[in-house]
Every structure is written in structure tokens, then in C-alpha cells.
Structure 1
Amino acid sequence: MTVPAKARVVIIGGGIIGCSVAYHLTKLGWTDVVLLERKALTSGTTWHAAGLIAQLRSSANTTRLAKYSQELYGGLEAETGLATGFRRVGSITVALTDERLEEIRRTAAMARAFGVEVDEISTAEVGQRYGHLNLDGVTGGVYLPKDGQGDPGNIALALAKGARQRGAQIFERVAVTSVKREADRVTGVDWQAENGEAGHIACDMIVNCAGMWGRAVGQMAGVNVPLQACEHFYIVSEPVAGLEQLPVLRVPDECAYYKVDAGKMMLGAFEPVSKPWGMAGIPEGFEFDQLPEDFDHFEPILEAAVNRMPMLAEAGIHTFFNGPESFTPDNAYHLGLSPDASNVWVAAGFNSIGIQSAGGAGMALAEWMDTGEKPFDLGDVDIARMQPFQGNRRYLQERATEALGLLYADHFPYRQKATARGVRRSPFHAHLVERGAVFGELAGWERANWFAREGQPKEYVYSWKRQNFFDNVAAEVAAVRTGVGLYDMSSFGKIRVEGRDAEAFLNRVCGAQMSVPVGKIVYTQFLNARAGIEADVTVTRLSETAYLVVTPAATRLADETWMRRHLGDAAVVITDVTAGEGVLAVMGPRAREVLQAVSPADFSNAVNPFGTAQTVELGLGLARVHRVSYVGELGWEVYVSSDMAAHAFETIWEAGQGMGLTLCGMHMMDCARSEKGFRHFGHDITCEDHVLEAGLGFALGKDKPDYIGRDAVLAKREAGLDRRLVQFMLTDPEPLLYHNEPILRDGRIVGHLTSGAYGHHLGGAVGLGYVPCKGESVAEVLASEYQIDVAGVRVPAKASMKPLYDPASERVRM
């Protein structure tokens, strides 16, 4: 064994993910690639994975990755000569309730929008395709003919062989014992072989593909990789005479999946309350190991399965298997460049979908490493979405009890996690609890999503139809549109950028002009070289040398990291001050009246026009008021230091009692911004959406000489737009929109909704989505007839380029 002393990249972990990263890097021409595996390739989780290879995921881009995986695996055997066992056997998902049927029909519609072949099938058709199934209670299903299954271990070994053929060096039984780091860069890794040899590899970067060891490897490198191993159970029957090949079958209402393999039936489970494992560390000798059986834990799943699949009652159990798999706090895997270091990449925590995801994840990460930019939007899985506290062991253990079961739980809109809650609370939390708040969680923050009426249970009752808070949110929207509403925005990220070069630095990073007077608030985007949108923020100039960047709560760390990576040698200090201030939004036609009642300051257009901030006396204390709005109404965001926050709330609340002041939640904000056509970062605008095609050209600085993405902006202005972000409203007031519903133009699918909500003031569901328009004028785009596919029903929709609510934006300037 000759382990090199230097490499361009060291990949840590030889499961299917690490092998895929090595394969795709070498495919891009990288030859100086080293992969180190502590034991044998595939010996952690890959070897015992079920090998289900589905194409459809919860977003367009994760579906893109999954589709790539099955296409890759289809040709891998011919390329490498190793049998992968890959077969396109198809898959069927069945529903046992009307709610689940609605979900899978919406899933089928989403598949059509993403270009995945799918058939909605009746109960009878389910029986025709899967004759062994007891159809009692089955309400319908969906069939994806190109889904498949394969041999996970052999797929990984084929990827490894492909990587070796192009020059990668792969070493088994060589463990990484430590990672060397200087400042924000890893410089190399120390290794120890089972035969006693040891050494050091200097490298330009590392990739953490360590699976359930990923958190520990992350700690070695000084980066946060929140994941937790959980026990995952399945049984394999004795051979069943005459059992033919069948599609993969999923019965999520019974937490079960079924797969035929070599004449035997496999039954796997994603039980609602799972069992975290390895909290004290994974045993040193763990290799191709399984965990102790727990038949009592598995028995409820098996009991339902024997009824659903009667052949299991006749066939004996050949294998009862329990093996560990890693899960993340939000059930999305970790991919990308760690925000904690400039050269540590992560591909780990695949939540039981590692086989179907590995090909695409390896491809995307390799391209990102090769070019330095994401090949397309990877926000769903970008490791930068994880908050530092989410690496906490106790947090991970508690959340892991729920995470595994959520794979097959009903994926209702607005469904909230039930475990590991209450970690981050705003200064107003107790006040909101007292007044009926029903909380959701985002990035660990407890946020009031809606307010229950007196006597109404303070909890969600989930559905794909109108949920129990529908009328509550309607009343909150009405308050903001016609009177005044108050809601908590403390969770939004607040990043202070200050120093001698702050103005020049932000002018480079932001598309808008930052050379503005003190007190000016600027709406802007951080753009990449393609003029795709990396962040959507407001920037307030606090002084000659200091600015405040306000970001969405979920992207605060990513946005801060983006700025830090473009800092260069600028004399600038970047500080997260999110927890230092509470923020209350006072919004609606009577907002000025409320604030004038609590402060002697002048809130008139002459003194405090839209887009400006001022420091004011408020009650007995001080506050800074920003005149901006994300709901399309006259209003202010009131920033107050955390020590004065309770006083500020009590003062505003008391003053507003005679003016109809109404507490509102995040659902109201989303409905109101959707009516106004305001974009939501991560849904409507992402790193692959050109700022001009997103309709945000107005936010770019006029004649700015230089900013990231400027050349791509000028090129697009010259060439014209290929697509436009269009607002839609259903003509039927009954159906609901969420996101990913197909957009049909003159009867043909041309895209999907990037976001959707109910427009309570407008009287129907509204959404945003991109429509191809190369060579077309706005009038030509709008001349077409549009429909939105809602769970298989084509609903006519009105299309508009201007906001359907207050198109001239007069209300925010009242």
C-alpha cells in the first residue's frame, strides 16, 4: 500500500456517496483524487440498503438529481463491466385515505411538471399491476414506470471501479485519525492503516462522505455536520414459489415498502417513532454489522403487512435485519461547501435515500467543486442551511426519533416538526403565547404562524383542504389590509457590516447602489457570476461606516458566509447580531396612527418616507423604525434592543387596543406577500434564476460600474429574456395552491408554480411561476390561456406580470 503524501482532494468514506464523488470528479478530469475508507468499501450503510431507486423527490432539483442517478445506473454496468443489478421495475404508491390520495395525486401532478413519467391509477388498476395486494381500504395509487431497484453494494463498487479507471486512488482499511487545519482551511489529514502503517496527506480540500460517522469527521475538521444514526428494520421472506418480478410497492399509511428480490419478498418500515443509535459513538470495529433485533418494535408494522400482503403469512421469515442509517434534522441530505471552512465539502446524511440520490449528488458536488459555483439550485440540501446549534447531540437524538417516520408520514402543507422544539425564542415569545399564538419552527426559531380565537385549540389540524386556521388567517389578512396588524419578525437574520470599506464592499456584493445617505433602506440581491440570485435582502445604512443586512431566517448563515467569502482584503467586520434586537412589524392603513400614539417622532412621508429608517423614542425606551413592507401595506418594522423588547411590545399593544390592532402570524405574511407578488427566496428566486427574469431588474443600481453578476445582467438585457416570473390567480375560489403545481399554457405544461398561497383579500389561490417567453413580448405571454394542474384537475387561471394587489404600489407610500 502506497498512500500518497499529497492529493488535490481527499474523500473520507467509501460508501456509495464517496464512490460517486470520486467517480464524478475523475469524469471531470481530476486525477489527483484519493479516497480513504476506514474498513471495506460499502461496509457502513450502503451494503444493507434496500436499493430502491425512485426518480421523484420533493423539489425540481432534487428530482433532477434522482433522475440522473437512475439514468447513470442504467449504463454503469456497460461502462465498468460490474453487474449492478439495476432494473427498471417501476414503483406503485397506494393511498388508504382520501387525504393521502390527494397527496399522491398532487405528487403525480408535480411529476408531470418535472418531466417524470407517471400514471394515476385506480384501485382496480393497482390490483391489476400488483395481484398479491389486499385492496381493502385502498383509495387509489400512482405508478412510475421508470423507477427501479438495484444492488447497492455493486453499484458503489462499479462507481469505485470507474473512478479507479480514470486515475483515482482508493484505499481500504485506512482510517482518517485527524484533520489538520490552519485558519479557515484544511491543510491535510493524518491516517492510520489496520496493518499499523500511518502517515499524512497534504491536500487542497477534503470531502466528508462518512455517512453516520459524518458528524464526528466534521468535528475533526472543525465543521458542523448535524446528523444522527437511527435503526432501520426490514425482513426478507423465505423464497415464494412462483413469485414474479413486481414493481416496488409503497404503502405509506402503513409505514411500509415492499420489494421482490430473487424470488423473496422484502418488507421495510419507516415507523412513526424511530430508534436513534450510536449516541455514545459508533464502535471502532463496526463493519458489515447489524444491530440487535427488536421484534416488539417491528411487530405493528408486520401485523399490518401480513394483512396487506397475505403471502407473508404463508412464507417464513428468512432474515430479520436491523441496520443503522443516518438522518438529518429536516430529512434533507447535506451537500456542499461547509460554511465553517473554505475547503471542506460535505456529502452525508442521506435519510434512507442514499442509493437513489448518490449518482446525482456526486455529479452536482463534483461540478460545484470543479467550477466553484453550484451547477443549479441546491438550496434544499445545501449544508449551509444548518444552524450551528443543530449539531447538539441531545437535539439530534430527540429529532431523530421523528425524522425517520416522516419519510412516510402524510406530507401535509405547513406540517410542523413535533420534537426538539423551543430552542430559539424571540423576546416576544411569552407575550404571544398568552395571546393565542400557534407556533411553527424554522431554523430552530419558534415563530407565531397564526393566532387561535378564544376557546379554539392552539394546534394544527392538518389537511390538504382548508386547514383549521384558514379563517383565522383570513381575519389576520383583513386586519392588515383594512386596519392594522402586528407580527413578530425577530427571527429574520440581522448582519452588521461595518468598517472603512463597508460601502465599497457592499457595492461589489449587492446589485443595488449602496452609496446612499445614512438612514436609507435598499432592497437588493447578492448575485453570482451568472446573475442568479444568491440572497434576497434589505440593507440599511446606519452610519458612514456601518450597514445592517436583513436576511430570511433560514438563510442567515448562508448569506453571511457568502459575504465572508467575497471579503478579500476589505477593511470590513461582519457580525451576526440577530439575537440582539427584537423586531415587531406594524402593518396596515392605521400603522402610522398606532406608532404616533407610542412615540413623539414624526412618521409622516416628509420626515420618514418609504425606504428610510430613523431612531425614535418609543414608550419609555428607544427603537429604530424601518419603513418597509413585505405585505404590501403602509407599515414599519420596529427594531428594539432585546432588553427593551417586552416593554416595546406592551406599549404598542396597549396603544393599539382602541384601533383594532390584531396579532398576526407568518401564514398571514405569506398570503399577503403572495397577493402582492413579492418573491420568496428559495422558492421563487434561487441561484439559478436570473435577476432580470425574476422581474427584479428595478432593484439593480443604475450605471453601477462593477458588481458581481453585472456582465451577465448586461448580456441578458442585450439578448432578451428566455422566461418570466408570472403571477397567477385561480378563477375558481375553492382549490388551494402550495407549490410545484404544473402551469399549462394553451393546454401544454410549460413550467410549475414556485410558490402558492391563498389570496384571502383577492378571493382565490395565487401563485408565482416561470413561463418560457423567448422572443415574446409581455402582451404575447399574457394573451395565452393558462391553467394550473391541481391534483390532476386543470383549473383556469388569470396571469399577470404586475402585482394583482395594488399594482402601482401606492399603499406602501400612503
Structure 2
Amino acid sequence: MAMNPTETLPERAGTVIVGAGIVGCNIAYQLTEMGRDDVVVVDQGPMPTTGGSSTHAPGIMFQTAEPKTLSQFANYSRTLYSELEGADGTQAYNETGGIEVARSEERMAFLQRRVEHAKAWGIDDPQLLSPSEVTDHLPLVDESQILGGYYSPTDGQVSGVVACDALAREAMDRGATFVPHTRTEDVETADGAVQAVVTENGTIDCDEVVVATNIWARQLGEKLGVHLPVTPVEHQYTMTESLEELSESAVDVTDHPLFENYENVSGEKAKRLLVGPDRPILRDQDNAMYFRTHGDSYGIGSYNHEPIVPDPQELGGNDPDGEQGSVHEFTDYHMENATHPDRPHKAPRQASDELLPATAGKELEFKYNGMFAESPNGLPVMGPVQEYDGLWTAAAIWVTHAGGAGKALAEWMETGVPKLDDGPIDLAHSDVNRFDDHEGSWDFARDIGAEEYRIVYNIMHPKWVWTDSQRDIRRTPMYHTHKEYGAELWAEAGWEEPQWFESNADLVDRYEDQIPDRDGWEGIYWSPIEGAETLHVREHVGLHDMTSFNKMEVVGAEAGAFVQRLCTNDMDLDVGDVKYTLMCNEGGGVRADITVTRVDDDRYLLLTTGREVGNNHVAWVREQSPEGVLVNDVTSNLAAMVCTGPDARKVLSKVTDVDLSDEAFPFFTSQQFFVKNVPVTALRVSYAGELGWELYTPSEYGERLWEHVLEAGAEYDIRPYGNGALDSLRIEKGFRLWGKDLHTEHTPYEAGLGWAVDMDTDFIGKEALAESTAAAADGGERRHEVAPLTLDDPDATILDDRPVFAPGEDETLGYVHSAEYGYSVGACIAYTYLPPEYAEPGTDVEVLFEGDRYAATVREEPIHGG
């Protein structure tokens, strides 16, 4: 039996969810399962076929993705959808399996990476198939067109409409209210908090609002002054006429309990869309296409055309007469012609007919351009919106990931910690507060949304950065000097940041015997200059631009007490003291690692390496701050650089009269003075792990300060160095990089940072951390512990996100969180988290990378120096 929503709008709710698509229904399901019975879901369309993306989506479920978050979400979604009962009494999830085929050697190498990511993320039984093994599963595929395939047996399909109905019915049974035909017009706020949702049919007073409107999310955000970089994009979907080869699979669904409702919104194509597939889902990524059966018809999805980006302010709603706001008219031109900028030689229809000859010449019976939402990094936009208490968002989320996203968001709303069934999940790269101001502009969101669409099926290197669109937005004060030194500039959170400097090419000859070649996948977007810069800093002195590091100022009479509440360490600091510490979330996971400097009696400087996720830290600190304490983001206010290396003291002594000796300027202290004529706040710390000083100055002085230091260091052969060298320097010393080898899925003790925790102080997350520590002390097992590895082959280099095994075994123990060659130690260093019995120094393990197993050994920290 289908859901039976109400047409009566309640006057009051605890939580209002705007949008009853697959995301909104999942959130309502999870919140009510946690015991909430005051949840109201409103949507502009009918229910469960609202007319949004969930209505037209074919519902394919490929679980394997390079971002761990998406695979975690998809894996949870598969499990959840498998437990749902559709309105017709059958299981909602069709576990048909999924196959991605390769038409090129480059794609076959990519499919090997698919296997490795699947093993790293815990996806069941990933396999590489030969062409004949592909056609064993998919007999209509032309075997001569492919080189092989990647098979994930637990992939499949779920109808968005069937799942929405099943989720909503269970949520309603637990007390939720679903109200269709109710367009949301605004959200009322007062004193920085949500007060009510204004709809065309009345107002609902509430405590919380979740914006789960997907392609319409930007529209509602703009009314609140929240510029969500959520971009609607179009892709094509069509279904063939009946095929003789599939005649035995013909199904009549006109008696399905949801058919009439579906037909009223989607028209006659509902008779195809409501039919689940009976064989594996097929994806031809070389041609940006995917395929699934609809009974005796084949559905063809195409991303293989130029990006089509409608203006969100011009998107219509769902017309009462049946027009879907998320569907535009099919553009035949994009199916019959090669318009994709990266695939100029073959039209989508030609590619489809080659791979599935049974479709050649057949009529495309139903066809449309369906819309979905993209974000600047291709990940969801979700979490508490920092501008208003009680305002949450969940957008740019596909059917594939909606179950996991709904679970994580509901846990976040209820407990403050995003979780799935197997524990906390880090959502730093999906957090709505991660964005910088420029990303809220429509110019940026439009162009980058289009680029994300363009590359969605491309073979993308993990170090790839935008090359044309929306570059050169944020320039550090040293930008022009960097250009003069031939900097290879990469985009980081809009900043143009040097990865290496061509001016240092001469150093490669000096250090060439310590810099192994990289000629495979690991060598793309790499230069041997990175290694030369690393070794030069270790032996001499270097200067690094760290302006993009996130910087916060905490000010007020109660600033000291607040900083102590934020931080795990004892923060009883004197003016001038510097301390490394952590911030934990309510679950005891590491929310950030930071350096705190007390610069005055009521003023503290907080520094973090967050970069593209650093704004999350700023939002977190502001959210926790009490009245009377100001939290200022001073990232753009201050230019920052670090002069580091054995000769750093000699260099800086030439441009300041301050005594820089160990006795006068100890490690982890700060002083304010002048470098020639430039005012600086100097910290005796260095992320490179060498003698060094971080120098902060108002931005307008930054370029001159940089010049002063370079001029003073000329006789010591000072060199600027980039982020490539910095990553090698920091990993050799065991310094964590937040968002990579340190995040909220780790406690400080698991991360090997227990020394930065003082349990005699009170801090956020202390209770949860104490409970987990007590459980371990009582014989409970810690899930994992940090384990630094070095590869046994001194010439080998690997990249992140690959699985780790015991020697000769197939059970995944963990995965590589970060990896970089350690030029000073002569080996590639990788950081992972392993079961405690495997994390002991001296333990042998293996890392699977590009199809080969690399022997590695767990090491003591730090691997370089002491």
C-alpha cells in the first residue's frame, strides 16, 4: 500500500524538512527512528512522486568511488534499501550487480584502481573481468568493443519513488507528517536563529529546518543570504522501444500501487521507470554513458555532451498540470552529435549502438533531460549552516548516497557527531561551511558545476587541479614574486599556491641521486624539484608561503576560558607562549589540530592547516563561542611565511636586532618585533620540523617581508619552496595533515596524539574520550591505531587511498591515508590506521597499488630525526 500524506499543514513542528525527495525522506526516516515524532516534511509536488530528481532518476547504485565518503554513503544506502519493503510487498533494492567496462588501456588501469578503492573502503567482493566474463553477465554487450570490466556484485538499483514511499510510510508510522502540494516560500529568522517555515499554505513554527531541495537549494538559500554553491546540471536519459532480445523480461506494472501516482507526474514513461532491472547495471565511462534494463527496454543515460547549466533562479517548480520542474525537453542534438569537450570524436548514440548492438536503429521511445545538482568538489553540501542556528542543509546528494547521507545528518542533528552504523564518519569535505566567499557567486558555482559535470566520468588524477575555469581568484601578497620565480601554481581553496618553483631546477642536479624517478600514475603532477626543495631545506634554508593556512583570532575577557574549553591540552599560557593542541567534537573525534598563541591578555591566535576544509574549523569555533567572545577569521588579514632550515637563524639575524638564540627565543614561544621596517609576530615553530620561525604580518606588508627575508638569505642560498616539498618534510617528521591522516574518525589516542590531551582539564568531547579510553583499559579493543610505514623498495612511491594487508593475505586491514616520498630517509612514507596488533613498529604489511603489492614495514615516529 502506498503512503497516505495529509493536506493539513501543522502549525508547529520541532523539525521541518523542505523537500520530500530521496534525501528528505531518508532524513525523516532516520530522525523518527531516533525517537523524534515532531518531524514535518513539505514538498511542492505530490507524494511520493514529487517531480524532483528522485522521480526521474533511474536509480543506479554503483558503490565504488574514489572519495571514501561517497562509498560509505552508498554502502549504507544499499543495506538500508535492501531492508525496505516497496508498496507492492517486494524488496525495494534490486541487487543485480554493476559492471563498468573499459574501451582503452587507460580505463583498464582505472578499473584496477576501482578494485583497490573498493577494497580500501570495504565494498564486498570487487572483481576485474575479462571481456568474455563481462558478456557472461551482459550477453547483449559486444565483446569486441571492450578490454574488460570491473564487477561489483552488490551494486544494483533502487527506484527513487519506491524508496521514498517506503521510507515515508515508516516515518509516518513513527509520527512524522508529510504534506504535499506545499511550496516553501521563505524561512523566518530572528536573532540569528530559525523561527518558522513560510509556505504557500501557511506558516509552521519550528526549531530546525533542513533544506533538502537539491536543484532548488540555491534559490531558498539566496532568500536567507546564504550563497550555496549548488549547481543544477542536465544530463540525458532515454529508453528504447521494446527489444526482441529482452522480450522474456517484459513486465506490466500498471497494477503497481504507485503506478497511477507516478503516471500523473511522469506520464507514460512511468510504465518503464517503475520496472526494475533484471541484469547488472552497465557503465561505459570511456563514453560517459550508463545503461540499465526496464523490462524489455534498455535505458540509456548519457553525460556525453557539453555541460548544460540552467540558471537556478529560472527553474520552475512542479506544475500542477504534471510538468516536472526537474526535467527539461530532450535535446536530440546532444545525443546525435559529439559535443562533450573531452570526447569530440564519437556521438553518444554511436557509442551506445556499438556497445549494445541490439539498440542500433531502435526508436528512443521515452527521452528527457533530467537535472541533478553538483557542488564545487563533487561532494554533498550538508550540515548546520553557520549563519543561522537551526538551519541545516542536505543538497547535491544522489539516490545512491542518500541513505548514508540521511543517516549521518540525522546523527549529526541528534548527537552532534555524524555517524553510520559502524562508527563516526568524517564529513569535512562535505560540510556546508567549507566554502570560501567567492564560491557563493553564481559565476563560480556555474562554471565549476559545469566542470564537475564534464569530468564526472573522466579518468582524474587525485592531484589534478582546475587549469582554466575560475582560477587566479585569491592571490597571496607574494603572488607576483612567485610568478617571477617560476612557481607551478595550484588552486587551493581559491588561493594560487606554489607546488614547486622552476627557479630551483638547478637543485635537481645537486640531489639527483636522492630523488627516484616516478614514471607511472604516481609521477603525474609531480616534479623532481619537489624532492630537491625538500633536501635543500633539510641542509640549508628555505622560505615557504603559508598565507592560505587558516588563522583565527579569539578575543575577549573570557577568551582564555573559552580556548581551554575548545582545546584538549592545558591552555594555561603566558603571553608569548605557543602550544600545539587538538579540538575534539562531542564524540571525542579530532575536530582539528591547531597551534594556539597567546598574543595578549585577552587575545589568542589559532592556526590550522585546514586550507580547503579550514573554514569548517572557523565555523566550529564560532558555533562554540560564548557571548562576549569574538572569533575573527583573520586568514586574509595576515600574510604568513615560514623561514626554516639549519641556517634560518643566520638569515633572520641579518634583518632583525632580536636575540634569536634558544635561550632568548625558545621553541614554542612567540615575540613581536620588526624585520627591518616590517612589523611581525614571529612563532618559533615549523611544520617542516627544522629550526624555523613562522612570520605573520598584515597583508599589505607581506610582499616586502618576503623580499627582506630572501635578500637576507642570499648568501646562505635560501630558496622558496612549495607545497610538494612541505608535504614530504612534514610526513618525515610525523606531523599530521588534518583532513588526510587526521580527522574526526580518529580519537587523539588512536592518532598517536595522546600527549596533546590533558584529561585534568575540561574540553568538548572529554566525556566521550574518557569512555572510550576506559573501555580500552577494561579489555575492550581499540578499533585502530596510527601506523607510519615505509616501503621496503627505496625507489617505489605510492599514492593515498590504497588498501593495506598482512603479507599474503586478502583481508583489508586499513588504507593509506597519506603518502609521500621521504627524500631525507630514502623511502616512501605512508600513514595508515591498523588494528593495534598490526600497528607495532617492525610489523610487515603490504600495500596494493596499481595492481602490485608493495612490501612495507611499520616504523617508529618520527621517521626522520628525533
TM-score relative to the length of structure 1: 0.92
Aligned residue number for residue 112 of structure 1: 119
Structure 1 residue 14 displacement after superposition: 1.6
- What is the Cα-based RMSD across aligned positions, in Å? 2.3
Aligned residue number for residue 760 of structure 2: 704
Structure 1 distance, partners of 2:138, 2:654, is 69
Contact 1:413/1:464 (CA < 8 Å) preserved in 2? no
Distance 1:495 1:455, change over 3 A: closer
Aligned residue number for residue 82 of structure 2: 74
Distance 1:305 1:589, change over 3 A: farther
Distance 1:627 1:44, change over 3 A: same
Q: How does 1:705-744 map to 2 (within 5 A)?
A: 705-718=761-774, 719-720=776-777, 722=782, 723-744=784-805
Q: Does 1:345 align with 2:348?
A: no
Structure 2 distance, partners of 1:296, 1:593, is 67
Structure 2 distance, partners of 1:724, 1:574, is 33
Structure 2 distance, partners of 1:510, 1:11, is 34
Aligned residue number for residue 267 of structure 1: 300
Structure 1 residue 230 displacement after superposition: 0.9
Q: How does 1:493-504 map to 2 (within 5 A)?
A: 493-504=550-561
Structure 2 distance, partners of 1:140, 1:731, is 32
Structure 2 distance, partners of 1:733, 1:138, is 37
Contact 2:842/2:858 (CA < 8 Å) preserved in 1? no
Aligned residue number for residue 97 of structure 2: 90
The one-letter code of the counterpart of 1:29 is G
Aligned residue number for residue 259 of structure 2: none
Q: How does 1:187-202 map to 2 (within 5 A)?
A: 187-192=195-200, 198-202=201-205
Structure 1 distance, partners of 2:769, 2:82, is 39
Q: How does 1:724-803 map to 2 (within 5 A)?
A: 724-746=785-807, 747=809, 748-773=811-836, 781-782=840-841, 784-803=843-862
Contact 1:490/1:581 (CA < 8 Å) preserved in 2? yes
The one-letter code of the counterpart of 2:761 is P
The one-letter code of the counterpart of 2:607 is V
Distance 1:142 1:179, change over 3 A: same
Structure 1 residue 153 displacement after superposition: 1.8
Structure 1 residue 416 displacement after superposition: 0.7
Aligned residue number for residue 137 of structure 2: 129
Distance 1:172 1:504, change over 3 A: same
Listed one character per residue, the Cα deviations across residues 552-590 of structure 1 (whole Å, up to 9, x for unaligned) are 223332222222222234x32111111111111222222
Listed one character per residue, the Cα deviations across residues 138-172 of structure 1 (whole Å, up to 9, x for unaligned) are 44331100100122222222222222222211111
| Equivalent of 1:214 in 212, 217, 231 | 217
Distance 1:228 1:717, change over 3 A: closer
| Equivalent of 1:37 in 30, 43, 46 | 43
Q: Does 1:322 align with 2:329?
A: no
Aligned residue number for residue 308 of structure 1: 355
2:470 is paired with a residue whose SS is: coil
Structure 1 residue 743 displacement after superposition: 1.6
1:212 is paired with a residue whose SS is: helix
Structure 2 distance, partners of 1:173, 1:568, is 41
Structure 2 distance, partners of 1:317, 1:189, is 43
Structure 1 distance, partners of 2:91, 2:496, is 46
The one-letter code of the counterpart of 2:330 is E
Structure 2 distance, partners of 1:387, 1:463, is 34
2:452 is paired with a residue whose SS is: helix
Aligned residue number for residue 195 of structure 1: none
Structure 1 stretch 526-535 or stretch 705-714: which is displaced more? Answer: 705-714
Contact 1:521/1:613 (CA < 8 Å) preserved in 2? yes
The one-letter code of the counterpart of 2:454 is G
Distance 1:221 1:160, change over 3 A: farther
Distance 1:717 1:39, change over 3 A: closer
Structure 1 residue 378 displacement after superposition: 2.0
Q: Does 1:20 align with 2:30?
A: no
Distance 1:621 1:782, change over 3 A: closer
TM-score relative to the length of structure 2: 0.87
Structure 2 distance, partners of 1:130, 1:114, is 26
Contact 1:234/1:267 (CA < 8 Å) preserved in 2? yes
Listed one character per residue, the Cα deviations across residues 325-359 of structure 1 (whole Å, up to 9, x for unaligned) are 11111100112111222211111112xxx111111
Aligned residue number for residue 644 of structure 1: 701
Q: Does 1:565 align with 2:623?
A: yes
Structure 1 distance, partners of 2:504, 2:451, is 31
Structure 2 distance, partners of 1:624, 1:500, is 22
The one-letter code of the counterpart of 1:292 is E
Aligned residue number for residue 372 of structure 1: 416
Q: Does 1:64 align with 2:123?
A: no
Structure 1 residue 454 displacement after superposition: 8.8
Listed one character per residue, the Cα deviations across residues 769-801 of structure 1 (whole Å, up to 9, x for unaligned) are 11112xx597xx335321112133221101013
| Equivalent of 1:47 in 51, 55, 71 | 55
Structure 1 residue 272 displacement after superposition: 6.8
The one-letter code of the counterpart of 1:364 is A
Structure 1 residue 471 displacement after superposition: 0.8
Structure 1 residue 496 displacement after superposition: 0.6
Gap runs ≥5 in structure 2: 1-6, 250-277, 339-347, 507-517
Structure 2 distance, partners of 1:19, 1:425, is 43
Distance 1:708 1:280, change over 3 A: closer
Q: Does 1:176 align with 2:162?
A: no
Q: Does 1:356 align with 2:400?
A: yes
Distance 1:507 1:467, change over 3 A: same
Structure 2 distance, partners of 1:391, 1:97, is 38
Structure 1 distance, partners of 2:39, 2:762, is 37
2:521 is paired with a residue whose SS is: coil
Contact 1:412/1:463 (CA < 8 Å) preserved in 2? no
The one-letter code of the counterpart of 2:733 is K
Structure 1 stretch 363-372 or stretch 325-334: which is displaced more? Answer: 363-372
Structure 2 distance, partners of 1:322, 1:713, is 50
1:476 is paired with a residue whose SS is: helix
2:600 is paired with a residue whose SS is: coil
The one-letter code of the counterpart of 1:422 is D
Listed one character per residue, the Cα deviations across residues 611-631 of structure 1 (whole Å, up to 9, x for unaligned) are 112222213322222121112
| Equivalent of 1:616 in 670, 673, 686 | 673
Contact 2:562/2:626 (CA < 8 Å) preserved in 1? no
Q: How does 1:682-701 map to 2 (within 5 A)?
A: 682-701=739-758
Structure 1 distance, partners of 2:175, 2:772, is 40
Structure 1 stretch 92-101 or stretch 357-366: which is displaced more? Answer: 92-101
| Equivalent of 1:435 in 485, 493, 496 | 485
Distance 1:496 1:454, change over 3 A: closer
Contact 1:756/1:766 (CA < 8 Å) preserved in 2? yes
Structure 1 residue 716 displacement after superposition: 4.6
Structure 1 residue 713 displacement after superposition: 4.0
Aligned residue number for residue 555 of structure 1: 613
Structure 1 residue 803 displacement after superposition: 1.7
Distance 1:547 1:303, change over 3 A: same
Q: Does 1:677 align with 2:730?
A: no
Aligned residue number for residue 811 of structure 1: none
Aligned residue number for residue 288 of structure 1: 324
| Equivalent of 1:242 in 245, 252, 258 | 245
Listed one character per residue, the Cα deviations across residues 667-720 of structure 1 (whole Å, up to 9, x for unaligned) are 22112212222111112222221111111111123x633222333444455434
Structure 2 distance, partners of 1:304, 1:596, is 67
Q: How does 1:481-500 map to 2 (within 5 A)?
A: 481-500=538-557
Structure 1 distance, partners of 2:223, 2:519, is 42
Structure 1 distance, partners of 2:549, 2:215, is 32
1:260 is paired with a residue whose SS is: strand
Distance 1:250 1:626, change over 3 A: same
Aligned residue number for residue 662 of structure 2: 605
Contact 1:598/1:652 (CA < 8 Å) preserved in 2? yes
1:242 is paired with a residue whose SS is: helix
Structure 2 distance, partners of 1:37, 1:230, is 21
1:782 is paired with a residue whose SS is: coil
Contact 2:245/2:358 (CA < 8 Å) preserved in 1? no
Distance 1:534 1:430, change over 3 A: same
The one-letter code of the counterpart of 1:760 is Y
Distance 1:675 1:129, change over 3 A: farther
Structure 1 distance, partners of 2:764, 2:785, is 22
Contact 2:317/2:324 (CA < 8 Å) preserved in 1? no
Structure 1 stretch 486-495 or stretch 414-423: which is displaced more? Answer: 414-423
Distance 1:143 1:445, change over 3 A: same
